[in-house]
Chains A and B, each alone.
Chain A
Amino acid sequence: DADVTQTPRNRITKTGKRIMLECSQTKGHDRMYWYRQDPGLGLRLIYYSFDVKDINKGEISDGYSVSRQAQAKFSLSLESAIPNQTALYFCATSGPTSGRAPDTQYFGPGTRLTVL
């Protein structure tokens, strides 16, 4: 089974609708992230959470909100979807590192969201 799962994998919605994307992980990591990926713009961080009580805005948080329901679950909401939120969304996790190991991010399979 995948360590980081995302639901749904694909979603088409209309402008103004509320959308929730869900992420679950079995890696036991404290840190979780939401990114969006657009052609030519790479991965951009939306929100991140270092534990259940810690939520931080990333570089493009406007129009998004998140909820960290448990260590293993991190949801991203679009309160009122707009067409320029059409993108590929990734959830990622990372854990504490030891010694000379860098922080490695483990990504889910992505959610392809289309807002019409």
Chain B
Amino acid sequence: QKEVEQDPGPLSVPEGAIVSLNCTYSNSAFQYFMWYRQYSRKGPELLMYTYSSGNKEDGRFTAQVDKSSKYISLFIRDSQPSDSATYLCAMPNNTNAGKSTFGDGTTLTVKP
């Protein structure tokens, strides 16, 4: 079983929809929970991260962590066609600083 499992998608939504992207993890030692966004033919780029449990909001994006359930989510409000990309969750390895475990990614298409 993988340490990080991500809802595979793909997701296709109309413009303006609320999008929920989700990952589960098994390693209770993970402390940081990150979301990368990857546009077609580009490398992933960090979108946002949270530390420990709770919510973090950045514009239309909200990252949520539930450590008791080992479940993380990224919500996109008022989704735009420019949000069309692959989203990867990632968790840095505390015991081997510099290594991260990535989810497989969920591809999102927002249709105008």
**Number of A-B residue pairs with CB-CB distance less than 8 Å in the complex they form:** 55
Tell me if A12 is interfacial: C-beta within 8 Å of chain B: no
Q: What B residues does A41 contact at CB under 8 A?
A: 104
Is B43 touching A104 in the complex (CB atoms < 8 A)?
Answer: no
- How many residues of B sit at the interface, in one of the four size bands? 20 to 34
Tell me if B25 is interfacial: C-beta within 8 Å of chain A: no
- Bound Cα distance A48, B105 (Å): 21
- Closest Cβ neighbor of B90 among chain A residues: A105
Is B104 touching A31 in the complex (CB atoms < 8 A)?
Answer: no
Tell me if A92 is interfacial: C-beta within 8 Å of chain B: yes
Rounded to whole Å, the gap between the CB of A43 and the closest CB of chain B is 4
Is A42 touching B102 in the complex (CB atoms < 8 A)?
Answer: yes
9 nearest CB pairs, A to B? A107-B43, A42-B104, A102-B32, A43-B102, A103-B92, A31-B98, A102-B92, A104-B46, A107-B44
